[in-house]
Amino acid sequence: MIILIVEDDSGLADLIKEKVEECGYKTASVKSAGEAMEWLSMNTPYIMLLDYTLPDMNAKEFITELQRKGDLLPTFIISTGQGDERIAVDMMKLGAMDYIIKDNNFLDLLPEVIRRVVREIENEKKAKEQKERLENVIESTRLGTWEWNVQTGEVVLNERSAEIIGYTLDEIIPVSNQAWKKNVHPDDYKRAYELLKLHFARDLEYYECEVRIKHKNGHWVWVLNKGKVIEWRKDNKPLRMFGIYMDITENKEMYEKIQELSIRDPLTNIYNRRYIFDRLEVIVAEFLRENKNFTVSIIDIDYFKKVNDKYGHQAGDFVLKEFADIISGSLRPYDLSGRYGGEEFIIVSMNSGKEQTGLKMDRILEIVRNKKFIYKDNEISFTFSCGISEGSELDDISVAALIEAADQRLYKAKNSGRDMIVINS
């Protein structure tokens, strides 16, 4: 495993190299973003230790350029001598696994930071391998396929699609959308239709719904129905849609486990950032149609770096997991909580305004203030800062606008002394 050191100070680069190699890793060193891009075009590091300030561009510009070019982005840690917390937060949002400040303790703390990132990489790798194993089990089963001319209603199925519900293909030809509607359980049809409308309106990237379809023998078969419009008319209406049927009557539990693995943060077991953002897109679309208010809260643990520095990164991981449990236990069943990145968390509260959500966050903050988190006989205390935005306060609502408003209020809380909730800019 090679760790790429991107550092323009040759003397410091040598000291970093020595520390990293003491941890048992091989190293490679470059002095600029340009040299790093050239090295990355031919090699893939296990981790990249990236100095924020480089001669030709800063780390934010460098990572943004890699993303723009579509290059594979390596796992990276940011090192900075500026001590600017906003820089650290910005880089974490661009994908940094951790950050470390170049102070007097920099070289002493570096090995533990690297070991922590390695642990996170290994955890994610294990979760991915488990997900792939389960996916392979399901992929080895035969799938029904369908192609639908949305405008004419004509549907083309394969033999397996007919077999799932007890027919031969010859028995059900010709197939139409009306015939499908007739055989779908009435309790499932409305939900399926609403999801189709969202997909046709491009509010959902693809259509996915679990429905019961009547078998030839009269019983109901659970089917996972997934599809996507593959051709649009010039007037932006759907023309052709392609999808699959999967009989999940017996395998439904296994499939749900795969879905859970793909949307959960491996450390805290709450939802991951991608899933929360996907759900927010749907929630914003619902708000625009039905005006159901909701809030977005972004939480940042105050001085979390001090917890890691004083007690170690395993203690930091323990705190993150315990805090996630407190959040989950304090929310209603239909609210959403997720890990936003690093020590930041995001909460989506349904049918709620800023004031109501603010009171809920105050209760959570009070729980955290009064709790001693015991890790290996150490009593760890912390607080958090929180910014809250709500859908109804924005003239031009979007996921990005909601996040930006909550982010601004979070920074206001942090700049005002931390340990507080801010609901207004």
How far apart CA 381 and CA 178 sit, in angstroms, is 61
Q: What 3-state class would DSSP assign to 230?
A: strand
**Core vs surface per residue 239-269: b (16+ CB within 10 A) or e:** bebebbbbbbeebeeebeebeebebbbbbbe
Handedness of CA 72, 122, 263, 94 (dihedral sign): negative
Q: Is there a cis peptide before residue 186, judged by omega within 30 degrees of 0?
A: no
How far apart CA 47 and CA 76 sit, in angstroms, is 5
Element (H, E) at 321: helix 313-330
Of the CA atoms within 13 Å of residue 254, those in its CB half-sphere come to: 16
How far apart CA 56 and CA 169 sit, in angstroms, is 64
How far apart CA 292 and CA 286 sit, in angstroms, is 7
Residue linked to tokens 């009435």: 186
Q: What 3-state class would DSSP assign to 223?
A: strand
Instruction: Please give the backbone phi and psi of residue 111, each rounded to the nearest 5 degrees, phi first.
Output: -60, -40
Which DSSP string corresponds to 81-95?
A: SS--HHHHHHHHHTT
Strands 154-157 and 175-176 come out as: antiparallel
Confidence (pLDDT) at 255: 67
pTM of the model: 0.51
Handedness of CA 274, 276, 277, 281 (dihedral sign): positive
Q: Long-range contacts: 263-268, Cβ < 8 Å, 24+?
A: 265/324, 265/338, 265/339, 266/120, 266/123, 266/124, 266/126, 266/127, 267/120, 267/123, 267/317, 267/320, 267/321, 267/339, 268/320, 268/321, 268/324, 268/339
Instruction: Please give the backbone phi and psi of residue 145, each rounded to the nearest 5 degrees, phi first.
Output: -125, 150
Sheet holding 238-247, edge to edge: 175-176, 154-157, 144-149, 238-247, 220-232, 207-214
What tokens does 274 get?
């991608």
Confidence (pLDDT) at 420: 97
Residue linked to tokens 């897109």: 281
How far apart CA 247 and CA 329 sit, in angstroms, is 35
Q: What 3-state class would DSSP assign to 184?
A: strand
Please name each of the domains of the chain with its CATH number: 2-123 (3.40.50.2300), 142-250 (3.30.450.20), 264-422 (3.30.70.270)
* Residue type, position 154, single letter: E
User: What's the Rg (C-alpha) of the chain?
Assistant: 25
* Residue type, position 97, single letter: M
How far apart CA 140 and CA 122 sit, in angstroms, is 27
Positions of the chain with pLDDT under 50: 138
